Amino acid sequence: MDPGTLNAIQGFAAIAMILVTVAIAVTGLRWVWLRSGRSVAPDAETLAQLQAALTRLEENEHRVAELEERVDFSERLLAQQQAPERLPRG
């Protein structure tokens, strides 16, 4: 076997071992996390905070949409205006 092929096989084997090790580690950590007794679902207070944040976000999205409409309107008005007359220098 030539050295290039051998190096490629060794590299592939090393990458495969790393991926298998990471998969086993993730599975083990997830198992430990689930066994630690921590709840996956948020509590009522956290849900209330998330709902309030979502409401504020929706309000801000509405405000941004209104501001975009105002900017578009202002841009159209400015585009329609003629160049202002200049005052004579005096």
Taking the C-alpha atoms of residue 81 and residue 86, their distance in angstroms, rounded to an integer, is 14
Query: pLDDT tens digit string along 77-89?
Result: 888 876 566 667 7
The ranges assigned to domains in the chain are 1-39, 41-80
CA distances from 51 to 41, 62, 84 (A): 15, 17, 50
Specify the pTM.
0.44
Taking the C-alpha atoms of residue 13 and residue 17, their distance in angstroms, rounded to an integer, is 6
Query: pLDDT tens digit string along 6-57?
Result: 888 888 889 999 999 999 999 999 888 888 876 667 788 989 999 999 999 9
Could you tell me if 50 and 42 are in contact, meaning their C-beta atoms sit under 8 angstroms apart? yes
What is the phi/psi pair of residue 38, to 5°? -75, 135
